[in-house]
Structure 1
Amino acid sequence: MTGLKKIQRLMGKTIRRKRVWIPLVILVFVYVNNSSLLAKPKTGDPYLLAHRGLAQTFDLEGVDWDTCTAERIHKPEHPYLENTIPSMRAAFEAGADLVELDVQLTKDNRFAVFHDHMLECRTEARGKIRDYTMADLKKLDVGYGYTADGGKTYPFRGKGTGLMPLLDEVLQAFPDRELLIHVKSDDPKEGVMLAGQLEKLPRDRLQRLSVYGGDQPVKALKERIPDLRTMSRESMKQCLLPYIAVGWTGYVPSACKNTQLHLPDRIAPWLWGWPNRFLNRMDQAGTRVILVKGSGGFSDGFDSPEDLKRLPDNYNGWIWINRIDRIAPLLDNHN
C-alpha cells in the first residue's frame, strides 16, 4: 500500500505540473507565433490610397449616409473636384499609389464615375443618376453645389461642366495605374454588368484593379472574375470572424485569400499578429490590407501629421487618405 501511495502522489504531482506548464507552453506559442517583435520588419513608407482622387474635404461631424457633403466643404485649397479625371491625375502626380473612385449605373446601362445616387447635391439637376443617360450627365456641372460658407458663395460653379467621366474613360486615362472601384449599390445586376466590362481587359490590367461595394454586386462580380481582388461587408466577415477564432495558430482562412480588407485603426490591433505578422500573412494570401483612421465611419483618413502618429512603428502598409497633397510630401518616397 505504501508503494501504491507513493506512485499516486507522484502521479498527482505530475498532473499538477502539467496543469501549469501545458497552458504556459500554449501561451508562449501564441505569443511567439503572433508577436510582431519577432517578425521580420518591412521597410519603406506606407502605400497611399487617395480617396476619390484629390477632392474637397468636409467636416465629418454629424455626417450620415444622405448628408449633402458638398454643402459643408472646408475652405478650398485646390481647384479639384472628386471623381474627375483631373482630380485623379493630380492625386497620382502628388504621390498616390492607388486612387479610389465611385461608379453609378446610368439609364443607358453605362458606369458613370460619381459618388451620389441623387444629383441635386453636387449638380444643377435633380433626381436619380440612373434616370439619366450618360449623354445627359455629360452636360451637367459637377461643381455646382459646392459651398464652404453656407450658400453665400459657390466657388466651383461653372467649373465642373462636362467633368463627370465614364469608367471607360478613367481606365483609358490611367492604363498602368492602380485603381479601386467602389460600386455604390447593392444590385447584383451591377456586379454582372461590371464583370462584363472588366473581363474584357488584359490580365495584367485586371491585376491593377480592385472592387468593393455592396454584398450582392461584389458576390456576382467575384463569381464571374474569381481572380479579381474584391471586398464587401460580407467578405470581410467571412475572412475576419474565422481568423479571430483560429488566427492565433497562424492559419489564414480561405476567405482571406485574394481579397481586400479595410481595417479601422482602432480595431486592427485586436487581430492576431497585428501589425507585422498579420500583414505578412495577408501578403502571402494575396490580400491587400488598407488601414482606415478611426472606427470605420464615413471615410475618415490619415490627413494630417498628427494622424500619421497613429500608425504603428515602421508601418509600411496601405493607408486611406483624403488629402494626398498634404500627406505625400511628409513621406520620403512620395514626392
Structure 2
Amino acid sequence: MKKIKRLFKRKSIWFLLVLFVFIYVNNSSLFAKRGEGAPLLLAHRGLAQTFSMEGIENDTCTAERINQPEYPYLENTIPSMEAAIKAGADLVEIDVQPTKDHNFVIFHDWTLDCRTNGQGVTRDYTTSELQALDIGYGYTADEGKTFPFRGKGIDLMPTLDEVLNYFPKTSFLIHIKSDDENEGIQMANYLEKLPANRLEQLTVYGGDQPIATLRERLPSLRTMSKATLKKDLIIYMAIGWTGYLPTNLKHGQLHIPEKVAPWLWGWPNRFLKRMDNADTRVIVVGGNGSGFSSGFDTPADIKRLPEDYSGGIWTNRIDKIAPLYNK
C-alpha cells in the first residue's frame, strides 16, 4: 500500500513538472519570434487638442480644460485626421453621432453644449443644422478667459460619408458612443452598402447592443464592445495557456489596458503571434481598465511597453509617437 502511495505521489510530481514545463514553453516570449516592423499606431480622434485626465467623469466638458494649444486642429475633423495620417497614423479613431435626418456626423459628444454654440442633442438636429454650428466655440485653456478656437469651427463637423470619401484608402476605427440598438441598425444599413474591400478597412466598437446587431448583420466586420472584450479576455485567461483559441476570438479587436496585459498568457510576443494568427488586432491603451483609458503620448509612456513591442498603440499625440518609430 505504501509503495502504491509513493508511486502515485511520484507520478503526480512528474505530471505537475511536465505540465509546468509545457505551460512555460508554450507561453514564454523567449520561444516566440518577435514581430517584424514598427507597431501599428492608432490616432485617437485624429491629431487634436489634449486635456488633463485628472478627475475626469462621464459628464466632464473636456473642451473647458484643454492644454495650451500646440496646433490648430480640432478633434474629429477632416484637417485633424489628415494631420494624423501625414504624421504617421496607421489607423484613425473617430466618433459618430446620429442626426435627425438619419445621417451620421463625426462628433464626440451626444450633446452640443460643451463644444459648440448650440444646445441639446445631435439627434434633434439635421446634418446641415449641425454643420452650421461652431464646434470650436467652447474650447478654453485658461478657465474661460480666452477661447482660441471660437469662430474657427463652422462647417468643420463632417459626415461619415464625407470622411470615408475624403480618405478612400485609410483605415478607421468607428466609435458608436451609445448603447442604442437603433444606432447599430442604422450603422449596419450604411455599412452594408459599402464594397467588401472598403469594409475590410473599417472596425466598429462601442455599446453592447449596437455591436451585437452589427455582428449579426455583418459577421465579416471587425468589431468590439465592452461585453465582447470582457468575454474574450476571460476565455483567454482560462484556456489561453493551451494555445487554443475559440472561434469568437478570431477576426476581432482587443483593447488591452497596459496594467492587464502582463497577466495574459504569452504576453507580449507569444500572445501577439496568437492574435495575428487569429486575425485579431491588439491595441494597448493606458490604465488598468477600471476607468477612462489614456494614450501613450510621450517617449516616457512608450518606455513602459515591452522592448520591441510590435502590437497596436493608442495615442493622442501621433506627432510625438510616430517619429519614435521612424514613421
Match status 1:324 vs 2:318: yes
Mapped to 2, the partners of 1:159 and 1:179 lie a distance apart of 25
Written as runs of structure 1 = structure 2, the 5 A alignment for 1:247-286 is: 247-286=240-279
- Deviation (angstroms), 1:19: 2.1
Name the SS for the 1:12 alignment partner. helix
Mapped to 1, the partners of 2:143 and 2:47 lie a distance apart of 22
Mapped to 1, the partners of 2:165 and 2:204 lie a distance apart of 17
Mapped to 1, the partners of 2:293 and 2:101 lie a distance apart of 30
- Deviation (angstroms), 1:237: 2.0
Name the SS for the 2:319 alignment partner. helix
Mapped to 2, the partners of 1:143 and 1:115 lie a distance apart of 13
1:37 is matched with 30
**Which of 295-304 and 279-288 deviates more?**
295-304
1:117-171, CA deviations, whole angstroms, 9 ceiling, x for partnerless residues?
1101000011111111111001001100000000000000111100000000000
Task: Give every structure 1 segment of 4 or more consecutive aligned residues whose post-TM-superposition deviation is greater than 6 Å.
Answer: none
2:282 is matched with 289
Match status 1:88 vs 2:81: yes
1:109 is matched with 102
Mapped to 1, the partners of 2:5 and 2:183 lie a distance apart of 66
1:184 is matched with 177
Q: Normalising by structure 1, what TM-score?
A: 0.95
Mapped to 2, the partners of 1:185 and 1:11 lie a distance apart of 63
Match status 1:198 vs 2:208: no
Q: Which has the larger radius of gyration?
A: 1
- Deviation (angstroms), 1:192: 1.0
Mapped to 2, the partners of 1:304 and 1:40 lie a distance apart of 27
CA contact (8 A) 2:97 2:108 kept: yes
Mapped to 2, the partners of 1:98 and 1:196 lie a distance apart of 23
For residue 190 of structure 2, what is the amino acid of its counterpart?
A: Q
Mapped to 2, the partners of 1:309 and 1:237 lie a distance apart of 27
Mapped to 2, the partners of 1:303 and 1:331 lie a distance apart of 13
Mapped to 2, the partners of 1:306 and 1:113 lie a distance apart of 31
1:227 is matched with 220
Name the SS for the 2:55 alignment partner. coil
Mapped to 2, the partners of 1:176 and 1:228 lie a distance apart of 17
1:306 is matched with 300
Query: How many pairs are equivalent?
Result: 326
Mapped to 1, the partners of 2:2 and 2:248 lie a distance apart of 50
1:238 is matched with 231
CA contact (8 A) 2:34 2:310 kept: no
- Deviation (angstroms), 1:41: 1.3
List gaps (5 residues or longer) in structure 1.
1-7
**Which of 16-25 and 97-106 deviates more?**
16-25
For residue 299 of structure 2, what is the amino acid of its counterpart?
A: P
CA contact (8 A) 1:106 1:112 kept: yes
Q: Normalising by structure 2, what TM-score?
A: 0.98
Name the SS for the 2:188 alignment partner. helix
**Which of 25-34 and 239-248 deviates more?**
239-248
Mapped to 2, the partners of 1:94 and 1:242 lie a distance apart of 37
List gaps (5 residues or longer) in structure 2.
none
For residue 324 of structure 2, what is the amino acid of its counterpart?
A: L
- Deviation (angstroms), 1:111: 0.4
**Which of 207-216 and 19-28 deviates more?**
19-28
- Deviation (angstroms), 1:57: 0.3
Alignment root-mean-square deviation, CA = 1.0
1:227-281, CA deviations, whole angstroms, 9 ceiling, x for partnerless residues?
0000001111221111111111111122211111100010011111111111111
**Alignment partner for residue 164 of structure 1, among 157, 168, 173?**
157
- Deviation (angstroms), 1:10: 4.1
CA contact (8 A) 1:239 1:253 kept: no
